[in-house]
Structure 1
Amino acid sequence: MTTDDRPGTASEGRPVIAAGLDAAEPAARGSVAAGPVAAEPAAAEPAAGGPVARGPAAAASVAAGPAAAGSVATLLVLADGRLPAGGHAHSSGLEAQVSVGRIRGLPDLEAFLRGRLATGGLVASAFAACTRTHAVEDLDRAFEVRTPSPALRHASRAQGKALLRAGRAMWPVPALHRADVHQPVALGVVAAAAGLAPEQAAVAAAWGTISGPASAAVRLLGLDPYGVHALLARLASDCDAIAARAMTYLEKSLDDLPADGAPLLDIGAEHHATWEVRLFAS
């Protein structure tokens, strides 16, 4: 993979999302905020009635959305499991593991979620945050090579496309190089358009990696929803810790971004994709 190894820079013609950073410290995290970056206009998939930023300047950066920067309420909207972004249709690999008996109850689910958070959660958090300091197209390509399973690549792009559509219905999300960027990259772009800070995008990404499969576990295993949410509450501080780690990657090169993975989930995803009958898409 060929990348631009200069931290905090963007390849020419590719957008860097700069909204949400502290205006008093424009260079604190190596952000590209001094004027628009030249970019070729890209076709977007606008949602009916939703604002879509267009043109080279719009593709280069995202202006702060209607909510105040760092709004907690806005973060809740973005992290809400009821957001029509397709997440409810995916189990993040849980269904395949349940089918072979690796996850049977709450203790197994806790181990699964902790593993997800430490691997995919860190990767997703870092990529969501780094949309402020790296070119979106480069991040999308880098996430692609960190996802060896074709089934998981498809699932990630499908969720990214749905998230961008939902985001455009609420905030001025810019046109990107393609309509179906990977979900963590799309999350970072939408978070910036909503006026959220990079760390808030990272927290939302970390939370999403465990809240989705936790909800799926209730349906797949018939677990007590109160017990599952008590587990999520215990993992809240772990999400914060993962987001803090993700922030350390803002000024690192693409090649140095985390690439933690779970090969067993990749294998399970490929088997799961061949099933004729399944409850979840992935």
Structure 2
Amino acid sequence: MAASSLAPLLVLADGRFPAGGHAHSGGAEAAVAAGRIRDVPSLEAFCRGRLHTAGLTSAGLAAAAAAGLDPLLLDEAADARTPSAALRAAARRLGRQMTRAARAAWPSAALDSLAAARPRGAHQPVVLGVAARAAGLRPTDAAYAVAYESVSGPVTAVVRLLGLDPFEATGVLARLAPDVDAVALAAADAAVRALVEGVEALPAASGPLSDVMAEGHAGWPVRLFAS
């Protein structure tokens, strides 16, 4: 499916899109507290690791949804690929907010059906993929949006958490651009295979330490970010 315009991709990737991402740090808050992120080089290392694990897995789910795979089947696959209960809950909260925003931006029967089937929210990357398809975007576009979000969220959060120079933090995103390209293309290729082979063809990379820290973070009595 060829995209008639890439403008919807800019809307999806815009931090001002009201999908709730600003309230989540992508694990960065817990990593800062543990001393694993303390400066620009450690932020870059954290983001690179996240991009090639959770980012790749989420981008594959989004690309598959944009390619037309059953979003309910993909939502189950997302559950299976998210061992942390705290992260599953966060993904569904984000998915519910993404559904509201996407239905307002690109009304479609597919988004309506998903909202009815998952009233508490489907996993956010699955919703994003359905929204991308409704907006006329390609699976590769959906993968790019998710891959970029997987690193832009932590970078933005760490600027607030550590008071890093925002210019230097933005430099991290620029240096990660080739990795974002590689992850998005790999996710889109996997989505094509999944059309024939099923969801087993989609990436299932993980970061066990991030899962463990997410469980601890969810129990903090005071925190700046929801996850």
Shorter-chain-normalised TM-score: which range?
over 0.9
User: Structure 2 vs 1, CA of residues 195 and 133 (structure 1 numbering), >3 Å: closer, same or farther?
Assistant: closer
Shift in Å at residue 265 of structure 1? Answer: 0.6
Q: Residue 218 of structure 2 corresponds to which residue in structure 1?
A: 273
TM-score (norm 2): 0.92
Q: Residue 80 of structure 2 corresponds to which residue in structure 1?
A: 145
Do 1:93 and 1:265's aligned partners in 2 also have CA atoms closer than 8 Å? yes
The residue type paired with residue 61 of structure 2 is: F
Percent identity of the aligned residues?
Answer: 55
Q: Distance in 2 between matches of 1:70 and 1:84?
A: 24
The residue type paired with residue 141 of structure 1 is: E
Q: Residue 170 of structure 2 corresponds to which residue in structure 1?
A: 229
Q: Residue 217 of structure 1 corresponds to which residue in structure 2?
A: 158
The residue type paired with residue 144 of structure 2 is: V
Secondary structure class of the residue paired with 1:190: helix
Shift in Å at residue 133 of structure 1? Answer: 3.9
Alignment of 1:185-224 (within 5 A): 185-224=126-165
Shift in Å at residue 278 of structure 1? Answer: 0.3
Could you give the per-residue CA deviations for residues 71-101 of structure 1, whole angstroms, max 9, x where no partner exists? 2222111100111100000001111111111
Q: Distance in 2 between matches of 1:70 and 1:260?
A: 32
The runs of 5 or more residues in structure 2 that have no matched partner are: none
2:199 is aligned, of 241, 245, 254, to 254
Do 2:147 and 2:184's aligned partners in 1 also have CA atoms closer than 8 Å? yes
Q: Residue 178 of structure 1 corresponds to which residue in structure 2?
A: 118
Do 2:193 and 2:201's aligned partners in 1 also have CA atoms closer than 8 Å? no
Higher relative contact order (CA 8 A, sep 6+): 2
Matched, 1:111 2:56: no
User: Structure 2 vs 1, CA of residues 70 and 115 (structure 1 numbering), >3 Å: closer, same or farther?
Assistant: farther
Q: Residue 64 of structure 2 corresponds to which residue in structure 1?
A: 130
User: Structure 2 vs 1, CA of residues 117 and 70 (structure 1 numbering), >3 Å: closer, same or farther?
Assistant: farther
Secondary structure class of the residue paired with 2:105: coil
Give the stretch that moved more between structures: 81-90 or 232-241: 232-241
Q: Residue 99 of structure 1 corresponds to which residue in structure 2?
A: 33
The residue type paired with residue 251 of structure 1 is: R
Shift in Å at residue 280 of structure 1? Answer: 0.2
Matched, 1:154 2:95: no
Shift in Å at residue 247 of structure 1? Answer: 1.6
Q: Distance in 2 between matches of 1:72 and 1:227?
A: 28
Q: Residue 163 of structure 1 corresponds to which residue in structure 2?
A: 98
RMSD of aligned alpha carbons: 1.1
Q: Distance in 2 between matches of 1:230 and 1:99?
A: 23
Shift in Å at residue 231 of structure 1? Answer: 1.2
Could you give the per-residue CA deviations for residues 229-273 of structure 1, whole angstroms, max 9, x where no partner exists? 111111122211111111221223212211100011111011111
Query: If you compute each CA radius of gyration, which structure gives the higher value, 1 or 2?
Result: 1
Give the stretch that moved more between structures: 175-184 or 205-214: 175-184
Q: Distance in 1 between matches of 2:23 and 2:31?
A: 16
Q: Distance in 2 between matches of 1:99 and 1:74?
A: 36
Do 2:28 and 2:157's aligned partners in 1 also have CA atoms closer than 8 Å? yes
More helix by share: 2
Q: Distance in 1 between matches of 2:17 and 2:204?
A: 27
Do 1:133 and 1:251's aligned partners in 2 also have CA atoms closer than 8 Å? no
Do 1:125 and 1:202's aligned partners in 2 also have CA atoms closer than 8 Å? yes
Do 1:129 and 1:202's aligned partners in 2 also have CA atoms closer than 8 Å? yes
